[in-house]
């Protein structure tokens, strides 16, 4: 069992601006010691020397993306600490990538902490029932359920846990960590709205993720 809780991971993330998975790894490497984990992330170049907990990310931009043909539209607010960073190519590129990710993947929430407790409990019950039907040992159920939440539920529903459609070797949260490292500022995805033309109406289904990925390939060339 880890020597830290989910709240410890969130506290470290709030202080450093680093992604959840990197924070969890840091706490694991440092046996749950918060201060040592901060130092660990600083040495890795993922957190700046100055603690970010009290810093305000009130600048930034509202980015947009319209899927080809006007089928999907996304507005996303991404915050940083200064106009200088907000107007930079690195930050603007990140906002564009996030907007396109939302268009392609249709996340329900930004972070794991945003998932309503009742929804999370329901998912746990489903995974627990599945594990029992598969004959898994009772003492292993909690670990199995947690694994499925991370690999399936969070990865499919929480933006920061989703694999980047532009580079599936990293998650959006890990990409966010690299932006924090490059800019030296606290950067956060605050909110988004996704519109899909004809949503709720009966219509032909398209592989929107594949279409958006193809569109994104044009930007990476």
| Domain ranges (residues) in the chain | 6-43, 59-112+158-220, 116-155
Long-range contacts formed by 205-212: CB under 8 A, 24+ apart: 206/71, 208/67, 208/71, 208/72, 208/103, 208/104, 208/106, 209/104, 209/105, 209/165, 211/67, 211/68, 212/67, 212/72, 212/100, 212/103, 212/104, 212/165
Mean pLDDT in residue range 122-129: 81
Is the domain covering 59-112+158-220 a CATH 3.30.479.20 domain?
A: yes
**94's tokens:** 């990140």
Residue 169's alpha-carbon distances to 100, 101, 137, 153, 166, in angstroms, are 17, 14, 32, 18, 9
Please report which helix (H) or strand (E) contains residue 74, including its range.
strand 72-80
**Burial bucket for residue 136 (CB in 10 Å: 0-12, 13-18, 19+):** middle
Judge whether residue 203 has pLDDT over 60: no
**Region of poorest pLDDT, from 39-43, 120-124, 144-148:** 144-148
**pLDDT tens string 62-92:** 999 998 788 899 999 999 998 889 999 999 9
Q: What is the predicted pLDDT for the residue at 174? A: 92
Same fold, 6-43 and 116-155: no
Q: Which CATH class is domain 116-155?
A: mainly alpha
- Note the pTM of the prediction, 2 decimals: 0.65
Mean per-residue pLDDT for 15-40? 84
Question: What is the percent of the chain where pLDDT is above 90?
Answer: 33
Q: DSSP secondary-structure letter at 113?
A: G
Task: Note the pLDDT of residue 49.
Answer: 40
Euclidean distance between CA atoms 138 and 30, whole angstroms: 30
Q: Lowest mean pLDDT of 8-12, 27-31, 171-175, name the range.
A: 8-12
CATH 1.10.8.10 assigned to 6-43: yes
Instruction: Report pLDDT for 108.
Output: 94
Of 39-43, 83-87, 190-194, which has the strongest mean pLDDT? 190-194
């Amino acid at each position: 069992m880890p020597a830290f809780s989910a709240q410890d991971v969130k506290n470290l993330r709030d202080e450093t601006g680093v992604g959840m998975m990197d924070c969890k790894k840091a706490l694991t490497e440092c046996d749950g010691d918060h201060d040592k984990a901060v130092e660990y992330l600083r040495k890795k170049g993922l957190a700046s020397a100055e603690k970010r907990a009290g810093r305000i990310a009130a600048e930034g931009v509202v980015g947009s993306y319209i899927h080809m043909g006007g089928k999907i539209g996304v507005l996303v607010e991404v915050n940083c600490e200064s106009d200088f960073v907000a107007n930079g190519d690195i930050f603007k590129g990140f906002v564009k990538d996030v907007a396109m990710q939302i268009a392609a993947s249709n996340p329900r929430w930004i972070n794991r902490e945003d998932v309503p407790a009742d929804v999370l409990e329901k998912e746990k019950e489903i995974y627990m029932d599945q594990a029992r039907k598969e004959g898994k040992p009772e003492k292993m159920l909690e670990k199995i359920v947690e694994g499925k939440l991370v690999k399936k539920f969070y990865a499919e529903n929480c933006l920061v846990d989703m694999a980047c459609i532009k580079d599936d070797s990293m998650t959006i949260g890990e990409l966010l960590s690299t932006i924090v490292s490059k800019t030296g500022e606290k950067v956060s995805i605050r909110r988004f709205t996704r519109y899909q033309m004809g949503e709720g109406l009966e219509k032909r289904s398209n592989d929107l993720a594949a279409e958006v990925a193809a569109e994104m390939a044009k930007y990476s060339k």
